[in-house]
Each structure stands twice: as C-alpha cells, then as structure tokens.
Amino acid sequence: MTTLSIPAAPVDRWLAAARERRSRRSFDGQPLAPEALEAVQEAVERWRPTDEARVVLLRDAPETIFRGIVGGYGRITGAPSALVMIGASDGPAAQASVGYLGEALILEATALDIGTCWVGGMYDSKAVGQHVELASGERVLAITPLGTPSERLNSAERIVYRAKNPKPRKPTDEIAAELGSSAWPAWARAGVEAARIAPSASNRQPWRFRMADGAAVVAFDGPESKIVSKRLDCGIAMLHFEIAARAAGVSGAWELLEHRSDVARFALGAA
Ligand SMILES: Cc1cc2nc3c(=O)[nH]c(=O)nc-3n(C[C@H](O)[C@H](O)[C@H](O)COP(=O)(O)O)c2cc1C
C-alpha cells in the first residue's frame, strides 16, 4: 500500500503560503535569482515522500512547453523556469502522489515569493519530454511555471486583494457533510478548512471528506475525468489537510485507496 506523509513539513510556512497562493499566469520574463533556484532545487531533493511521484526543476523553461490560445486566458507567458511533475505511471496512486508532492513544492515556491500555476492540460508533453528524461512507464502529469509575476503586489496590496477577492470555493458543508457536528474532531475540521482552499483543475474542487471509524477519508465526486485526474486534485487537498491537522497537534499519514471513488484515508499516528 502506498502511504504519503511529510513528517518534517514546515507546517506554518506552508499553511501561510496556502492562504496566500493564487495561480499566476503572466510573468516578467526575467530569470529567477540563482539563490531562489537553488532553494527550489533543494526542496525538490528534500521532499520525496513516495516512489510514485518525482519532480524535476527546469531552470530554463522554453515557452513552447505551455500551450493555449495566444493572449487568451490560461496562456502562460514570460515564465523563465518550470517544475515538471512526473508520475511513476498514470495510475491512481501516481495521480494522488503527484498532486500531494507537487503541492508541497508549489507551497514552498510560494513561500519563496515565486509565482506558480498548476497546469494539467495545457502543456506540450512532447516539448516537455525533450527536457526531462523519463524512465520506463513514467508519465508527465502536470507542470507549473516558476517566475516573478508581472504584476507584483506589495504586502499592503496583498491584504486588500485578499479581502476583496476571497478564493471562490464551495461551502465547507458541500465538501464535508455536517462538518459542525461532534463526528468531526477539531483536527479534522481544520484539515477540511485547509483542503477547501486548495487549487484544482478548472476550480472543480472534487474532494469530498467523511469520517469513518475515527479516520478522515477523501473521495472524489462524480465520474473520473479523462483529461486531468480528480485523484490528482485530491492529492493536492490531502497535502493541505495534513499540514493543518499537524498544526492542530495530530500526526498521521495518508493511506492510498483505489476502491471506486475513494482516494485515501488519513491514519492517525502513522507518520
Ligand atoms: C491539476 C490542475 C490543473 C490545472 N490546469 C490548468 C491549466 O491547464 N491552465 C490554467 O490556466 N490553469 C490551470 N489550473 C489552475 C486552476 O484553474 C486554479 O487552480 C483554480 O481556478 C483555482 O484558482 P487559484 O489557483 O488561483 O486558487 C490547474 C489547476 C490544477 C490543480
């Protein structure tokens, strides 16, 4: 069974980054500072929670790896670097693992003041393939640009921006039934609140949480998607959940599940 946990995660740093992060699509075209790239590379090497997923830093990312209508929404422009998120396969465990590990690195990049945007569909896998060597069976499942967003916000602007633009997300009751009831311990409630603000493809927020025998279980809603796996989105939410649970004093690990739409179960004390 594949289990995912990052016991040494810098929880406060990543929780702050989770609240701050927005997808950024337009960058200033300038290379990132060598120290910033070094810090990203160190993070890539340090956080390896599973063999199901790995991430490669492309220091010089050609713009051709990003697809999309020129000038249209979603087109990534001016990003000097990128992270390539690779699954050991395109199977269920790899999808959830790539979401989980990729989000850890995206939050670390955010904490380093680097702009990011998960890109699950709009990249050119052939162009990416020319820059990373894939082992047999491996698949690129997503990429993210890394760079300085063209429009930088100073700290005062960020506060206003956050107040005026709360993240458009589903109400908590929709992603976790009766979250206010005693069935949900405080750590699990904190986990769901943090998962709620996670990014997802087309902002579809497919994660659904329930408590079963004292453990939190995450599943995706509706049918699986053929373009970007909903398990990948759930992996992202799982990373958010885990760091919030840890901040609330509980440690654990996600055990991946493959039955129907179940994605994983958070086993307490297993980390
Ligand atoms: C797995 C995944 C794939 C995504 N693919 C794309 C994409 O191809 N193009 C794009 O512009 N945004 C993409 N996004 C970004 C989402 O649209 C974005 O996360 C969502 O709208 C929420 O906005 P936020 O990230 O600013 O909170 C993707 C996000 C995820 C998690």
Residue 232, ligand 1, Cβ within 6 A: yes
Ligand 1 atom index nearest CA of 121: 8
**Residue 7: which residues within 8 A CB-CB, separation 6 or more?**
251, 271
Ligand 1 atom index nearest CA of 123: 8
Percent of the chain with pLDDT over 90: 81
Cβ(220)–Cβ(229) below 8 Å:
no
List the residue whose alpha carbon is closest to atom 20 of ligand 1. 203
- The whole-number average pLDDT for the span 119-133 is 89
Q: What is the mean pLDDT of the chain?
A: 92
Exposed / middle / buried, residue 122 (Cβ in 10 Å: 0-12, 13-18, 19+): middle
List the residue whose alpha carbon is closest to atom 29 of ligand 1. 201
Q: What is the pTM of this model?
A: 0.95
CA nearest to 191, candidates 154, 129, 131, 246: 246
In this prediction, residue 121 has a pLDDT band, given cuts at 50, 70 and 90, of confident
The pLDDT assigned to 123 comes to 87
Q: What amino acid is encoded at 130 in this protein?
A: Q
- The whole-number average pLDDT for the span 33-58 is 98
> 166-199: per-residue pLDDT in tens?
688 999 999 999 998 999 999 999 999 999 999 9
**Residue 78: both structure tokens together:** 């001016």
Query: Helix H segments across 130-229?
Result: 155-164, 172-175, 186-196
> 249-260: per-residue pLDDT in tens?
999 999 999 999
Q: Which residues pair with 176 in a beta bridge?
A: 209
pLDDT at 208 over 70: yes
Residue 32, ligand 1, Cβ within 6 A: no
Pick 165 or 95 by higher pLDDT: 95
Backbone CA torsion sign across 194, 195, 199, 204: negative
Pick 142 or 158 by higher pLDDT: 142
Domains for the chain: give ranges and CATH numbers: 3-146 (3.40.109.10), 168-268 (3.40.109.30)
Exposed / middle / buried, residue 197 (Cβ in 10 Å: 0-12, 13-18, 19+): middle
Percent of the chain with pLDDT over 70: 91
Tell me, in angstroms, the distance from the centre of ligand 1 to residue 268's CA. Answer: 30
> 53-94: per-residue pLDDT in tens?
999 999 999 988 987 655 555 678 899 999 999 999 999 999
Residue 200, ligand 1, Cβ within 6 A: yes
- Strands of the sheet containing 262-268, edge to edge, are 3-4, 252-256, 262-268, 215-220, 207-212
Residue 170, ligand 1, Cβ within 6 A: no
The pLDDT assigned to 158 comes to 67
